Structure 1
Protein backbone atom coordinates (compact mmCIF):
# COMPACT_ATOMS: atom_id res chain seq x y z
CA UNK A 1 0.00 0.00 0.00
CA UNK A 2 0.98 3.60 -0.50
CA UNK A 3 0.00 6.42 1.80
CA UNK A 4 -1.43 9.10 -0.45
CA UNK A 5 -2.77 11.55 2.11
CA UNK A 6 -2.33 12.44 5.76
CA UNK A 7 -5.11 14.50 7.29
CA UNK A 8 -5.38 15.98 10.74
CA UNK A 9 -6.73 12.70 12.12
CA UNK A 10 -6.96 10.17 9.25
CA UNK A 11 -4.41 8.65 6.91
CA UNK A 12 -5.42 7.40 3.46
CA UNK A 13 -3.68 4.51 1.70
CA UNK A 14 -4.15 3.32 -1.87
CA UNK A 15 -4.78 -0.43 -2.19
CA UNK A 16 -5.58 -1.37 -5.77
CA UNK A 17 -8.91 0.14 -6.80
CA UNK A 18 -9.83 0.82 -3.16
CA UNK A 19 -8.64 3.07 -0.40
CA UNK A 20 -7.84 2.19 3.21
CA UNK A 21 -8.96 4.94 5.58
CA UNK A 22 -7.11 4.74 8.90
CA UNK A 23 -8.25 6.72 11.93
CA UNK A 24 -5.34 7.69 14.16
CA UNK A 25 -5.36 8.63 17.83
CA UNK A 26 -4.34 12.18 16.94
CA UNK A 27 -6.53 15.03 18.13
CA UNK A 28 -6.86 18.43 16.49
CA UNK A 29 -8.34 21.64 17.85
CA UNK A 30 -8.88 24.82 15.87
CA UNK A 31 -7.45 22.94 12.85
CA UNK A 32 -4.13 22.26 14.65
CA UNK A 33 -2.95 18.75 15.50
CA UNK A 34 -1.79 18.55 19.13
CA UNK A 35 1.33 16.51 19.97
CA UNK A 36 -0.41 14.18 22.46
CA UNK A 37 -2.64 11.31 21.33
CA UNK A 38 -5.87 10.02 22.91
CA UNK A 39 -5.69 6.21 23.43
CA UNK A 40 -8.22 4.19 21.37
CA UNK A 41 -9.64 7.34 19.81
CA UNK A 42 -9.19 6.00 16.27
CA UNK A 43 -11.00 2.76 17.08
CA UNK A 44 -13.83 4.62 18.83
CA UNK A 45 -14.34 6.98 15.88
CA UNK A 46 -14.30 4.08 13.42
CA UNK A 47 -16.79 1.98 15.39
CA UNK A 48 -19.18 4.89 15.92
CA UNK A 49 -19.03 5.92 12.26
CA UNK A 50 -19.82 2.38 11.14
CA UNK A 51 -22.83 2.31 13.46
CA UNK A 52 -24.12 5.61 12.11
CA UNK A 53 -23.56 4.60 8.48
CA UNK A 54 -25.97 1.71 9.15
CA UNK A 55 -28.56 4.04 10.71
CA UNK A 56 -28.39 6.37 7.70
CA UNK A 57 -28.15 3.82 4.87
CA UNK A 58 -31.67 4.51 3.61
CA UNK A 59 -30.98 8.25 3.35
CA UNK A 60 -27.71 8.24 1.44
CA UNK A 61 -25.19 5.64 0.19
CA UNK A 62 -21.76 5.73 1.81
CA UNK A 63 -18.21 4.83 0.87
CA UNK A 64 -17.75 1.73 3.07
CA UNK A 65 -16.72 -1.53 1.39
CA UNK A 66 -15.52 -3.48 4.44
CA UNK A 67 -14.46 -2.94 8.05
CA UNK A 68 -12.73 -6.33 8.16
CA UNK A 69 -10.72 -6.48 4.93
CA UNK A 70 -7.96 -4.18 6.15
CA UNK A 71 -4.29 -4.74 7.08
CA UNK A 72 -3.89 -6.42 10.47
CA UNK A 73 -1.80 -3.52 11.78
CA UNK A 74 -4.80 -1.20 11.35
CA UNK A 75 -7.51 -3.60 12.54
CA UNK A 76 -10.26 -1.92 14.52
CA UNK A 77 -9.48 1.58 13.35
CA UNK A 78 -9.53 1.26 9.58
CA UNK A 79 -12.06 0.71 6.82
CA UNK A 80 -11.80 -0.25 3.16
CA UNK A 81 -13.66 2.34 1.12
CA UNK A 82 -14.52 3.31 -2.44
CA UNK A 83 -12.48 5.98 -4.13
CA UNK A 84 -14.44 9.22 -4.19
CA UNK A 85 -13.82 12.59 -5.74
CA UNK A 86 -14.40 14.55 -2.56
CA UNK A 87 -16.37 17.76 -2.85
CA UNK A 88 -14.45 20.85 -1.84
CA UNK A 89 -16.95 21.91 0.80
CA UNK A 90 -17.53 20.97 4.44
CA UNK A 91 -21.24 20.32 4.91
CA UNK A 92 -22.28 21.59 8.34
CA UNK A 93 -25.67 21.47 10.04
CA UNK A 94 -26.41 23.43 13.20
CA UNK A 95 -29.36 22.97 15.52
CA UNK A 96 -27.91 25.03 18.36
CA UNK A 97 -25.85 28.21 18.42
CA UNK A 98 -22.29 27.90 19.68
CA UNK A 99 -18.65 27.97 18.55
CA UNK A 100 -17.84 29.77 15.32
CA UNK A 101 -21.55 30.11 14.55
CA UNK A 102 -22.06 32.05 17.76
CA UNK A 103 -19.09 34.31 16.95
CA UNK A 104 -20.55 35.09 13.51
CA UNK A 105 -23.99 35.73 14.99
CA UNK A 106 -22.61 38.13 17.58
CA UNK A 107 -20.79 40.04 14.85
CA UNK A 108 -23.49 40.11 12.18
CA UNK A 109 -26.76 38.68 13.49
CA UNK A 110 -26.40 35.88 10.95
CA UNK A 111 -24.50 32.64 10.30
CA UNK A 112 -23.28 32.03 6.76
CA UNK A 113 -25.69 34.66 5.53
CA UNK A 114 -28.70 33.16 7.34
CA UNK A 115 -30.40 35.80 9.49
CA UNK A 116 -31.30 34.58 12.98
CA UNK A 117 -33.64 36.01 15.65
CA UNK A 118 -32.30 38.60 18.08
CA UNK A 119 -31.41 37.69 21.64
CA UNK A 120 -29.87 34.26 21.09
CA UNK A 121 -27.08 33.24 23.47
CA UNK A 122 -24.45 30.50 23.66
CA UNK A 123 -26.29 27.17 23.54
CA UNK A 124 -29.61 28.53 22.28
CA UNK A 125 -31.65 26.11 20.21
CA UNK A 126 -32.28 27.52 16.75
CA UNK A 127 -35.86 27.86 15.45
CA UNK A 128 -34.93 25.16 12.93
CA UNK A 129 -31.65 23.51 11.91
CA UNK A 130 -29.59 25.51 9.42
CA UNK A 131 -27.04 24.53 6.78
CA UNK A 132 -23.77 26.46 7.11
CA UNK A 133 -21.09 25.21 4.70
CA UNK A 134 -17.41 26.01 4.91
CA UNK A 135 -14.30 25.58 2.84
CA UNK A 136 -12.23 22.43 3.35
CA UNK A 137 -8.81 23.43 4.62
CA UNK A 138 -5.63 21.42 4.31
CA UNK A 139 -3.51 20.59 7.37
CA UNK A 140 -2.15 23.80 8.89
CA UNK A 141 -4.86 25.98 7.37
CA UNK A 142 -8.29 26.95 8.65
CA UNK A 143 -11.77 26.26 7.29
CA UNK A 144 -13.68 29.41 6.35
CA UNK A 145 -17.45 29.78 6.57
CA UNK A 146 -19.19 30.45 3.26
CA UNK A 147 -22.79 31.06 2.21
CA UNK A 148 -24.90 28.51 0.38
CA UNK A 149 -24.67 30.74 -2.68
CA UNK A 150 -20.86 30.61 -2.54
CA UNK A 151 -20.94 26.81 -2.30
CA UNK A 152 -23.25 26.72 -5.32
CA UNK A 153 -20.67 28.67 -7.30
CA UNK A 154 -17.94 26.24 -6.21
CA UNK A 155 -19.69 22.91 -6.90
CA UNK A 156 -22.77 23.84 -8.94
CA UNK A 157 -26.26 24.85 -7.82
CA UNK A 158 -27.90 21.44 -8.21
CA UNK A 159 -25.20 19.54 -6.34
CA UNK A 160 -25.02 22.22 -3.63
CA UNK A 161 -28.77 21.89 -3.06
CA UNK A 162 -28.51 18.09 -2.83
CA UNK A 163 -25.71 18.36 -0.28
CA UNK A 164 -27.67 20.89 1.78
CA UNK A 165 -30.82 18.77 1.79
CA UNK A 166 -28.94 15.56 2.61
CA UNK A 167 -26.97 17.26 5.40
CA UNK A 168 -30.13 18.53 7.05
CA UNK A 169 -31.84 15.14 6.64
CA UNK A 170 -28.87 13.35 8.22
CA UNK A 171 -28.79 15.88 11.06
CA UNK A 172 -32.52 15.41 11.67
CA UNK A 173 -32.24 11.60 11.73
CA UNK A 174 -29.16 11.70 13.92
CA UNK A 175 -30.72 14.19 16.34
CA UNK A 176 -33.83 12.07 16.75
CA UNK A 177 -31.82 8.95 17.50
CA UNK A 178 -29.41 10.75 19.84
CA UNK A 179 -32.20 12.54 21.71
CA UNK A 180 -33.73 9.18 22.64
CA UNK A 181 -30.38 8.38 24.26
CA UNK A 182 -30.04 11.62 26.22
CA UNK A 183 -27.69 13.41 23.81
CA UNK A 184 -28.26 16.64 21.92
CA UNK A 185 -26.33 17.06 18.68
CA UNK A 186 -25.54 20.76 18.64
CA UNK A 187 -23.92 20.65 15.21
CA UNK A 188 -22.14 18.25 12.90
CA UNK A 189 -19.79 18.31 9.92
CA UNK A 190 -20.10 15.92 6.98
CA UNK A 191 -18.13 15.22 3.82
CA UNK A 192 -19.46 13.97 0.51
CA UNK A 193 -17.86 12.66 -2.65
CA UNK A 194 -18.74 11.17 -6.02
CA UNK A 195 -17.64 7.66 -6.94
CA UNK A 196 -16.35 6.47 -10.31
CA UNK A 197 -19.91 5.66 -11.43
CA UNK A 198 -21.18 9.14 -10.62
CA UNK A 199 -23.00 8.25 -7.40
CA UNK A 200 -22.98 10.82 -4.60
CA UNK A 201 -21.85 9.16 -1.36
CA UNK A 202 -21.30 10.10 2.26
CA UNK A 203 -17.61 9.76 3.05
CA UNK A 204 -15.03 10.23 5.79
CA UNK A 205 -16.68 9.89 9.23
CA UNK A 206 -20.21 10.65 10.36
CA UNK A 207 -21.71 11.91 13.63
CA UNK A 208 -18.68 11.18 15.79
CA UNK A 209 -17.21 13.00 18.78
CA UNK A 210 -14.67 14.57 16.40
CA UNK A 211 -17.11 15.79 13.78
CA UNK A 212 -19.99 16.78 16.08
CA UNK A 213 -20.79 18.52 19.33
CA UNK A 214 -22.61 16.09 21.63
CA UNK A 215 -24.28 17.65 24.68
CA UNK A 216 -25.87 16.02 27.71
CA UNK A 217 -29.60 16.67 27.22
CA UNK A 218 -30.37 16.66 30.94
CA UNK A 219 -27.71 19.29 31.70
CA UNK A 220 -28.26 21.54 28.67
CA UNK A 221 -28.77 25.15 29.70
CA UNK A 222 -28.24 28.08 27.31
CA UNK A 223 -25.80 30.73 28.47
CA UNK A 224 -23.13 28.41 29.80
CA UNK A 225 -20.52 25.97 28.59
CA UNK A 226 -22.41 22.75 27.91
CA UNK A 227 -21.32 19.40 29.41
CA UNK A 228 -20.31 17.46 26.32
CA UNK A 229 -19.10 14.11 24.98
CA UNK A 230 -16.68 15.34 22.36
CA UNK A 231 -13.35 17.08 21.87
CA UNK A 232 -14.73 20.38 23.18
CA UNK A 233 -13.12 19.35 26.47
CA UNK A 234 -9.71 19.50 24.75
CA UNK A 235 -10.59 22.77 22.99
CA UNK A 236 -11.51 24.37 26.32
CA UNK A 237 -8.32 23.09 27.97
CA UNK A 238 -6.13 24.34 25.11
CA UNK A 239 -7.77 27.76 25.25
CA UNK A 240 -7.31 27.93 29.04
CA UNK A 241 -3.53 27.55 28.65
CA UNK A 242 -3.31 30.79 26.69
CA UNK A 243 -2.19 28.92 23.59
CA UNK A 244 -3.26 30.33 20.23
CA UNK A 245 -3.66 28.30 17.01
CA UNK A 246 -1.06 30.45 15.27
CA UNK A 247 1.59 29.73 17.91
CA UNK A 248 4.61 27.85 16.59
CA UNK A 249 4.36 25.01 19.13
CA UNK A 250 1.16 23.30 20.27
CA UNK A 251 0.99 22.26 23.94
CA UNK A 252 1.26 18.70 25.25
CA UNK A 253 -2.02 17.47 26.76
CA UNK A 254 -1.78 16.52 30.48
CA UNK A 255 -2.58 12.91 31.42
CA UNK A 256 -5.70 13.96 33.32
CA UNK A 257 -7.11 15.72 30.25
CA UNK A 258 -6.22 12.75 28.04
CA UNK A 259 -8.05 10.36 30.39
CA UNK A 260 -11.10 12.61 30.69
CA UNK A 261 -11.29 13.06 26.92
CA UNK A 262 -11.07 9.33 26.27
CA UNK A 263 -13.83 8.74 28.84
CA UNK A 264 -16.09 11.23 27.03
CA UNK A 265 -15.54 9.47 23.70
CA UNK A 266 -16.32 6.12 25.31
CA UNK A 267 -19.50 7.44 26.94
CA UNK A 268 -20.73 8.91 23.65
CA UNK A 269 -20.17 5.57 21.90
CA UNK A 270 -21.89 3.57 24.64
CA UNK A 271 -24.86 5.91 24.98
CA UNK A 272 -25.51 6.13 21.27
CA UNK A 273 -24.96 2.52 20.26
CA UNK A 274 -26.14 0.83 23.45
CA UNK A 275 -22.99 -1.30 23.30
CA UNK A 276 -20.35 -1.57 26.00
CA UNK A 277 -16.91 -0.48 24.78
Structure 2
Protein backbone atom coordinates (compact mmCIF):
# COMPACT_ATOMS: atom_id res chain seq x y z
CA UNK A 1 0.00 0.00 0.00
CA UNK A 2 1.43 3.37 -1.00
CA UNK A 3 0.85 5.51 2.05
CA UNK A 4 0.23 4.91 5.73
CA UNK A 5 -0.05 1.32 6.91
CA UNK A 6 -3.43 0.01 7.96
CA UNK A 7 -4.49 -3.13 9.74
CA UNK A 8 -4.83 -5.88 7.15
CA UNK A 9 -8.23 -7.09 6.08
CA UNK A 10 -10.50 -4.58 4.40
CA UNK A 11 -13.92 -3.88 5.86
CA UNK A 12 -16.76 -2.49 3.73
CA UNK A 13 -17.76 1.10 4.37
CA UNK A 14 -21.21 0.01 5.49
CA UNK A 15 -19.79 -2.47 8.00
CA UNK A 16 -17.01 -0.24 9.26
CA UNK A 17 -19.17 2.47 10.74
CA UNK A 18 -16.78 5.08 9.30
CA UNK A 19 -18.20 8.56 9.87
CA UNK A 20 -18.54 11.36 7.34
CA UNK A 21 -15.97 14.09 8.01
CA UNK A 22 -16.14 17.51 6.40
CA UNK A 23 -13.12 18.14 4.17
CA UNK A 24 -11.93 14.53 4.27
CA UNK A 25 -12.73 11.59 1.97
CA UNK A 26 -12.98 8.08 3.41
CA UNK A 27 -10.65 5.87 1.36
CA UNK A 28 -10.17 2.64 3.33
CA UNK A 29 -11.29 0.69 6.37
CA UNK A 30 -9.20 -2.04 7.90
CA UNK A 31 -10.33 -4.31 10.70
CA UNK A 32 -10.04 -1.59 13.31
CA UNK A 33 -9.00 1.65 11.59
CA UNK A 34 -10.43 4.00 8.98
CA UNK A 35 -8.31 6.12 6.65
CA UNK A 36 -9.23 9.45 5.07
CA UNK A 37 -7.52 11.73 2.57
CA UNK A 38 -7.92 15.48 2.52
CA UNK A 39 -10.09 17.01 -0.18
CA UNK A 40 -7.57 19.88 -0.32
CA UNK A 41 -4.97 19.01 -3.03
CA UNK A 42 -2.33 20.92 -1.06
CA UNK A 43 -2.70 18.34 1.73
CA UNK A 44 -2.51 15.17 -0.35
CA UNK A 45 0.69 14.21 1.48
CA UNK A 46 -1.32 13.66 4.67
CA UNK A 47 -3.61 10.88 5.86
CA UNK A 48 -6.19 10.99 8.65
CA UNK A 49 -6.01 7.76 10.68
CA UNK A 50 -9.09 7.07 12.82
CA UNK A 51 -8.97 4.34 15.45
CA UNK A 52 -12.42 2.78 15.73
CA UNK A 53 -13.91 0.85 18.64
CA UNK A 54 -14.03 -2.29 16.48
CA UNK A 55 -12.29 -5.39 17.80
CA UNK A 56 -11.00 -8.31 15.74
CA UNK A 57 -9.81 -11.81 16.56
CA UNK A 58 -9.09 -14.89 14.48
CA UNK A 59 -9.31 -12.74 11.32
CA UNK A 60 -12.89 -11.63 12.03
CA UNK A 61 -14.30 -8.27 13.07
CA UNK A 62 -16.52 -8.96 16.06
CA UNK A 63 -19.69 -7.48 17.44
CA UNK A 64 -20.35 -5.41 19.43
CA UNK A 65 -17.60 -2.81 19.56
CA UNK A 66 -15.47 -2.10 22.65
CA UNK A 67 -16.44 1.30 24.13
CA UNK A 68 -13.53 3.73 24.39
CA UNK A 69 -11.07 1.44 22.61
CA UNK A 70 -10.24 3.84 19.78
CA UNK A 71 -9.71 6.77 22.13
CA UNK A 72 -7.42 4.74 24.40
CA UNK A 73 -5.36 3.43 21.48
CA UNK A 74 -4.92 6.95 20.13
CA UNK A 75 -4.11 8.36 23.56
CA UNK A 76 -1.37 5.76 24.05
CA UNK A 77 0.09 6.09 20.55
CA UNK A 78 0.41 9.86 20.88
CA UNK A 79 1.82 9.53 24.39
CA UNK A 80 4.53 7.14 23.23
CA UNK A 81 5.43 9.17 20.15
CA UNK A 82 6.15 12.13 22.43
CA UNK A 83 8.67 10.05 24.39
CA UNK A 84 10.50 8.07 21.72
CA UNK A 85 13.70 9.52 20.30
CA UNK A 86 13.06 8.44 16.70
CA UNK A 87 11.34 10.29 13.84
CA UNK A 88 7.62 9.50 13.59
CA UNK A 89 4.81 10.05 11.10
CA UNK A 90 2.69 12.52 13.10
CA UNK A 91 1.87 15.81 11.43
CA UNK A 92 0.64 19.00 13.09
CA UNK A 93 0.00 20.96 9.89
CA UNK A 94 -3.77 20.92 10.32
CA UNK A 95 -6.16 20.29 13.18
CA UNK A 96 -7.81 16.94 13.72
CA UNK A 97 -11.50 17.18 12.75
CA UNK A 98 -13.85 17.61 15.68
CA UNK A 99 -15.88 14.54 14.69
CA UNK A 100 -12.97 12.22 15.57
CA UNK A 101 -10.75 14.42 17.74
CA UNK A 102 -10.15 11.93 20.58
CA UNK A 103 -9.47 8.92 18.39
CA UNK A 104 -7.57 10.14 15.36
CA UNK A 105 -4.15 11.29 14.24
CA UNK A 106 -3.02 13.16 11.16
CA UNK A 107 0.05 11.54 9.68
CA UNK A 108 2.45 12.01 6.81
CA UNK A 109 2.06 9.42 4.07
CA UNK A 110 4.99 7.04 3.95
CA UNK A 111 6.21 4.30 1.65
CA UNK A 112 5.91 1.45 4.13
CA UNK A 113 8.30 -1.47 4.39
CA UNK A 114 6.44 -4.81 4.05
CA UNK A 115 7.93 -5.93 7.36
CA UNK A 116 6.38 -6.18 10.80
CA UNK A 117 9.24 -5.46 13.17
CA UNK A 118 8.42 -7.70 16.12
CA UNK A 119 10.59 -7.49 19.23
CA UNK A 120 10.28 -9.96 22.09
CA UNK A 121 11.69 -9.52 25.56
CA UNK A 122 9.73 -12.45 26.98
CA UNK A 123 8.60 -15.70 25.42
CA UNK A 124 4.88 -16.20 24.79
CA UNK A 125 2.29 -16.35 22.03
CA UNK A 126 3.37 -17.71 18.67
CA UNK A 127 7.01 -17.37 19.74
CA UNK A 128 6.44 -19.89 22.52
CA UNK A 129 4.92 -22.38 20.06
CA UNK A 130 7.82 -21.98 17.65
CA UNK A 131 10.38 -22.32 20.45
CA UNK A 132 8.74 -25.53 21.68
CA UNK A 133 8.90 -26.99 18.17
CA UNK A 134 12.35 -25.83 17.07
CA UNK A 135 14.23 -24.18 19.93
CA UNK A 136 14.25 -21.01 17.82
CA UNK A 137 12.09 -17.99 16.99
CA UNK A 138 12.41 -16.64 13.46
CA UNK A 139 15.82 -18.26 13.11
CA UNK A 140 17.12 -16.93 16.44
CA UNK A 141 18.52 -19.83 18.46
CA UNK A 142 17.46 -19.63 22.12
CA UNK A 143 18.75 -21.37 25.27
CA UNK A 144 17.19 -24.66 26.29
CA UNK A 145 14.82 -24.84 29.25
CA UNK A 146 12.93 -21.57 28.79
CA UNK A 147 9.42 -21.56 30.25
CA UNK A 148 6.25 -19.84 29.05
CA UNK A 149 6.34 -16.15 29.94
CA UNK A 150 10.01 -16.30 30.86
CA UNK A 151 12.37 -13.39 30.30
CA UNK A 152 14.78 -13.80 27.40
CA UNK A 153 18.51 -13.19 27.97
CA UNK A 154 18.21 -10.17 25.63
CA UNK A 155 15.35 -8.77 23.54
CA UNK A 156 15.29 -10.37 20.11
CA UNK A 157 14.17 -9.12 16.68
CA UNK A 158 11.71 -11.61 15.18
CA UNK A 159 10.26 -10.06 12.02
CA UNK A 160 7.24 -11.04 9.96
CA UNK A 161 6.47 -10.45 6.31
CA UNK A 162 3.27 -8.48 5.75
CA UNK A 163 1.34 -10.72 3.40
CA UNK A 164 -0.91 -9.41 0.61
CA UNK A 165 -4.52 -8.59 1.47
CA UNK A 166 -6.46 -11.62 2.65
CA UNK A 167 -3.40 -13.73 3.44
CA UNK A 168 -1.70 -14.40 6.77
CA UNK A 169 1.51 -12.63 7.77
CA UNK A 170 4.50 -14.97 7.85
CA UNK A 171 7.28 -15.11 10.44
CA UNK A 172 10.63 -14.82 8.68
CA UNK A 173 14.33 -14.76 9.54
CA UNK A 174 16.56 -11.69 9.48
CA UNK A 175 18.27 -13.06 6.36
CA UNK A 176 14.90 -13.10 4.62
CA UNK A 177 14.38 -9.45 5.61
CA UNK A 178 17.71 -8.67 3.96
CA UNK A 179 16.55 -10.39 0.79
CA UNK A 180 13.29 -8.39 0.76
CA UNK A 181 14.48 -4.84 1.60
CA UNK A 182 18.29 -4.97 1.44
CA UNK A 183 20.99 -5.28 4.07
CA UNK A 184 21.18 -1.58 5.01
CA UNK A 185 17.45 -1.18 5.53
CA UNK A 186 17.17 -4.51 7.35
CA UNK A 187 19.90 -3.55 9.81
CA UNK A 188 18.34 -0.13 10.36
CA UNK A 189 14.89 -1.58 11.10
CA UNK A 190 16.34 -4.17 13.47
CA UNK A 191 18.47 -1.64 15.36
CA UNK A 192 15.70 0.96 15.59
CA UNK A 193 13.19 -1.65 16.77
CA UNK A 194 15.48 -2.90 19.53
CA UNK A 195 16.34 0.68 20.55
CA UNK A 196 12.69 1.68 20.88
CA UNK A 197 11.74 -1.54 22.65
CA UNK A 198 14.43 -1.12 25.30
CA UNK A 199 13.48 2.51 25.94
CA UNK A 200 9.77 1.66 26.14
CA UNK A 201 10.42 -1.30 28.44
CA UNK A 202 12.22 0.94 30.89
CA UNK A 203 9.32 3.42 30.92
CA UNK A 204 6.70 0.68 31.27
CA UNK A 205 8.57 -0.72 34.26
CA UNK A 206 8.10 2.60 36.05
CA UNK A 207 4.34 2.00 35.83
CA UNK A 208 4.67 -1.51 37.23
CA UNK A 209 4.29 -3.08 33.80
CA UNK A 210 6.25 -5.54 31.70
CA UNK A 211 6.42 -4.99 27.94
CA UNK A 212 6.62 -8.62 26.86
CA UNK A 213 6.61 -8.05 23.12
CA UNK A 214 5.50 -5.56 20.50
CA UNK A 215 5.56 -4.84 16.78
CA UNK A 216 6.61 -1.71 14.95
CA UNK A 217 6.12 -0.62 11.36
CA UNK A 218 8.45 1.72 9.51
CA UNK A 219 8.38 3.57 6.22
CA UNK A 220 10.40 6.15 4.36
CA UNK A 221 9.42 9.74 3.64
CA UNK A 222 10.16 11.79 0.54
CA UNK A 223 13.76 12.38 1.70
CA UNK A 224 14.44 8.67 2.20
CA UNK A 225 14.49 8.99 5.99
CA UNK A 226 13.23 5.95 7.89
CA UNK A 227 10.15 6.95 9.91
CA UNK A 228 8.25 5.12 12.65
CA UNK A 229 4.62 4.89 11.57
CA UNK A 230 1.37 3.13 12.29
CA UNK A 231 0.21 2.77 15.90
CA UNK A 232 2.94 2.21 18.45
CA UNK A 233 3.11 0.33 21.76
CA UNK A 234 -0.66 0.02 22.12
CA UNK A 235 -2.44 -3.04 23.54
CA UNK A 236 -3.42 -3.94 19.95
CA UNK A 237 0.23 -4.16 18.91
CA UNK A 238 1.87 -5.14 22.20
CA UNK A 239 1.62 -7.56 25.09
CA UNK A 240 1.80 -5.92 28.53
CA UNK A 241 1.76 -7.76 31.84
CA UNK A 242 1.50 -6.57 35.41
CA UNK A 243 4.98 -6.82 36.96
CA UNK A 244 3.47 -7.78 40.34
CA UNK A 245 1.44 -10.59 38.75
CA UNK A 246 4.48 -11.81 36.78
CA UNK A 247 6.52 -11.92 39.99
CA UNK A 248 3.80 -14.14 41.49
CA UNK A 249 4.20 -16.55 38.60
CA UNK A 250 1.13 -15.41 36.63
CA UNK A 251 1.93 -15.32 32.94
CA UNK A 252 -1.30 -15.24 30.93
CA UNK A 253 -3.20 -12.13 32.09
CA UNK A 254 -2.36 -9.29 29.69
CA UNK A 255 -3.69 -5.77 29.06
CA UNK A 256 -5.27 -6.39 25.67
CA UNK A 257 -8.00 -8.36 23.91
CA UNK A 258 -6.78 -11.74 25.18
CA UNK A 259 -10.07 -11.93 27.13
CA UNK A 260 -11.88 -11.88 23.79
CA UNK A 261 -9.62 -14.52 22.24
CA UNK A 262 -10.05 -16.80 25.24
CA UNK A 263 -13.84 -16.49 25.18
CA UNK A 264 -13.99 -17.17 21.44
CA UNK A 265 -11.69 -20.18 21.77
CA UNK A 266 -14.09 -21.65 24.36
CA UNK A 267 -17.30 -20.77 22.52
CA UNK A 268 -16.63 -20.93 18.77
CA UNK A 269 -15.11 -23.54 16.47
CA UNK A 270 -13.96 -20.84 14.00
CA UNK A 271 -16.43 -22.05 11.37
CA UNK A 272 -18.84 -19.51 9.93
CA UNK A 273 -19.55 -16.18 11.57
CA UNK A 274 -18.32 -15.67 15.15
CA UNK A 275 -20.86 -15.30 17.96
CA UNK A 276 -21.76 -11.94 19.47
CA UNK A 277 -19.57 -11.09 22.45
CA UNK A 278 -21.35 -11.15 25.84
CA UNK A 279 -21.72 -7.85 27.67
CA UNK A 280 -19.38 -8.93 30.46
CA UNK A 281 -16.58 -9.77 27.99
CA UNK A 282 -17.02 -6.40 26.29
CA UNK A 283 -16.89 -4.60 29.66
CA UNK A 284 -13.83 -6.51 30.87
CA UNK A 285 -11.98 -5.81 27.63
CA UNK A 286 -12.85 -2.10 27.73
CA UNK A 287 -11.59 -1.97 31.31
CA UNK A 288 -8.25 -3.53 30.30
CA UNK A 289 -7.65 -0.93 27.56
CA UNK A 290 -8.61 1.91 29.89
CA UNK A 291 -6.49 0.62 32.78
CA UNK A 292 -3.38 0.32 30.64
CA UNK A 293 -3.78 3.83 29.23
CA UNK A 294 -4.34 5.22 32.71
CA UNK A 295 -1.40 3.42 34.28
CA UNK A 296 1.07 4.49 31.63
CA UNK A 297 0.01 8.08 31.09
CA UNK A 298 -0.74 8.91 34.72
CA UNK A 299 2.04 7.07 36.53
CA UNK A 300 4.94 8.13 34.33
CA UNK A 301 5.85 11.79 34.30
TM over 0.5: yes
Partner of 1:272: 296
In the alignment, what sits opposite 2:110?
84
Residue 181 in 1 paired to residue 207 in 2? yes
After superposition, the Cα gap between the structure-2 partners of 1:222 and 1:104, relative to the gap in structure 1 and judged at 3 Å, is farther
Q: What does residue 100 of structure 1 align with?
A: 126
Counterpart Cα distance in 2 of 1:127 and 1:67:
43
2:68 and 2:290 in contact (8 A); partners too: no
C-alpha separation between the residues in 2 aligned to 1:28 and 1:140?
14
Partner of 1:134: 160
Q: Say yes or no: does 1:35 pair with 2:63.
A: yes
Mind listing any 5+ residue stretches in structure 1 that lack a counterpart?
none
Seen in structure 2, the aligned counterparts of structure 1 residues 45 and 183 have a Cα distance that, compared at 3 Å, is: same
Alignment partner, residue 33 of structure 2: 10
Mapped pair 1:49 → 2:77 = yes
For 2:282, the equivalent position in structure 1 comes to 258
1:23 aligns with 2:47: no
Unaligned runs of 5+ in 2: 1-23
8 A contact 1:216–1:226 mirrored in 2 = no
Name the SS of the counterpart of 1:65 in structure 2.
Answer: coil
Q: Is the 8 A contact 1:91 1:164 kept in 2?
A: yes
Kindly name which structure, 1 or 2, has the bigger radius of gyration based on alpha carbons: 2
Tell me how far apart the structure 1 counterparts of residues 249 and 164 of structure 2 sit (CA, whole Å): 33
- Out of 226, 231, 235, the position equivalent to 2:252 is 226
Structure 1 pair 67/136, CA: closer, same or farther in 2 (3 Å)?
farther
Superposed CA RMSD in Å reads 1.8
Go from structure 1 to structure 2 and tell me whether the alpha carbon gap of 1:223 and 1:241 turns closer, same or farther (over 3 Å shift).
Answer: farther
Conserved in 2, the CA contact under 8 Å of 1:31 and 1:140? Answer: no
Contact kept? 1:101, 1:111, Cα under 8 Å: yes
For the residues of structure 1 that align with 2:175 and 2:258, how far apart are their CA atoms? 30
1:176-211 Cα offsets, whole Å, 9 max, x none, are: 000111100110011111112222111111101111
Residue 49 of structure 1: CA displacement? 0.4
Q: Quick check: 1:69 aligned with 2:95?
A: yes
Output the TM-score relative to the length of structure 1: 0.92
- Is the alpha carbon distance of 1:125 and 1:67 closer, same or farther for their aligned partners in structure 2, counting shifts above 3 Å? farther
Shift of 1:270: 0.8
Q: CA deviation at 1:51?
A: 0.3
TM-score by length of 2: 0.85
**Count of residues paired in the alignment:** 271
Alpha-carbon deviations, 1:212-269, whole Å to 9, x = none?
A: 001010011597542221122222222122433xx33122211101100111111101
